[in-house]
Amino acid sequence: MGLAAAMFLSSQSLPVRADDLSLPEMTLVPAGWYWQGSDEIERDYAYRIDEQIYGEDMARRNRWYDSEIAKWRIYLPKFEISTTPVTNAQYAAFIKDTGHPAPGVTREIWDSYGLVHGFEATRPFAWKDGRPRAGRENHPVVLVSWQDAMAYTRWLGEKTGDTWRLPNEAEWEKAVRGPDGTFYPWGNIYDPTRLNSADRGPFDTMPVKSFPAGPYGLYDGAGQVFEWTLTQQQPGARIVKGGSWDDRGCGVCRPAARHSRPEHLRHILIGFRVLRVAPHKDK
């Protein structure tokens, strides 16, 4: 049986204890229709706000947002998704229990990625002696690959007896955006006071829940960190969503925005949240 098939198998649901701080807090997204993707009006808005901030049209010339899914109405069954990105403290329980490598990256591997950020930019986010840096326990975990995130979901399944996985792109977008197809979780006008982006700083991750929640009660869906999804763009690459603390504009922080990154990449801008399949007995 393949990994993907195994991750979708139903299992007897066991409740996640509310007082177990090592497990993610979960939010139920009800079954129903929602608007996924973007239309020409939304994409043009994204290009224009990027041009206003950066003073040039690189995003439009490179057609950054032209690959977004054409806006359409789609029905999804109910599911539960973590209220915030997985935090360092939550991920630390997984590391302690399994001995999985802690978030980090060597200079050689980082330089091989060819990214804009130099290796020194990774140091505040890299764990030391198997633990997150002091004061960052409630920040989203980063420097985790897609494979690392998948290993964490498997551990959650073993720990709770439930079925856990990463959200696919459609599930992630509905959970963050809500049913109405607005450009951002809060509406159609970009507001830098409602997310962690480079428009206001602090040019770093922040504690989760530092900004207002979105339509279903999720936090940090726009800005803060990009998030891995289950959706494959091409072999070896997965869609990431959400924008980050390093983005300005923030056209890329819209829930409809999408691009892919290699599954093996451990990046200071990428974290994840998890999905738990809602038990069938729940009505």
* Other Cβ atoms within 10 Å of 10 Cβ, number: 10
Identify whether 268 is part of a domain.
Answer: yes
Residue 19 domain-assigned (yes or no)? no
Domain assignment present for residue 119? The answer is yes
| Tokens encoding 207 | 């504690």
Q: What is the CATH number of the domain that holds 188?
A: 3.90.1580.10
Q: Count CB atoms within 10 A of the CB of residue 111.
A: 12
- Answer whether residue 271 shows pLDDT above 90: yes
- CB-CB neighbours of 168 under 10 Å: 16
Residue 282 lies in a domain: no
Is the pTM here over 0.85, yes or no?
Answer: yes
Where are the extended beta strands (E) located within the chain? 26-29, 32-36, 72-76, 79-82, 164-165, 226-234, 237-241, 259-262, 270-271, 275-276
Cβ of 126: how many Cβ atoms within 10 Å?
Answer: 19
In 3D, which of 113, 163, 174, 159 has the Cα closest to residue 275? 163
Total number of domains in the chain = 1
CA distance linking residue 167 with residue 272, whole number of Å:
9
Residue 257 has pLDDT above 50, yes or no: yes
Question: Any idea which residue has 């490598």 for tokens?
Answer: 101
Domain with 233, as residue range(s), is: 26-276
Q: What is the pLDDT of residue 18?
A: 38
Give me the pLDDT at residue 21, please: 57
Q: What is the pLDDT of residue 239?
A: 98
Q: What is the pLDDT of residue 1?
A: 31
Q: Give a yes or no: residue 209 inside a domain.
A: yes
Sign of CA dihedral 249, 67, 83, 72: positive
Segment 113-152, tens digit of pLDDT: 999 999 999 999 999 999 999 999 999 999 999 999 999 9
Please compute, for residue 21, the number of CA atoms within 13 A of its CA located in the half-sphere on the CB side: 5
Q: Is residue 200 part of a domain?
A: yes
Per-residue confidence (pLDDT) for residue 61, from 0 to 100: 78
Of the candidates 158, 125, 166, 168, the one whose C-alpha atom is nearest the C-alpha of residue 143 is 125
Residue type, 131: R
Question: What's the whole-number average pLDDT of the chain?
Answer: 90
What's the DSSP call for residue 127? -
Q: Is residue 100 part of a domain?
A: yes
- In this prediction, residue 279 has a pLDDT band, given cuts at 50, 70 and 90, of low
Instruction: Give 2's pLDDT tier (boundaries 50, 70, 90).
Output: very low
Residue 8 lies in a domain: no
Give residue-wise pLDDT tens across range 81-114: 999 999 999 999 999 999 999 999 999 999 999 9
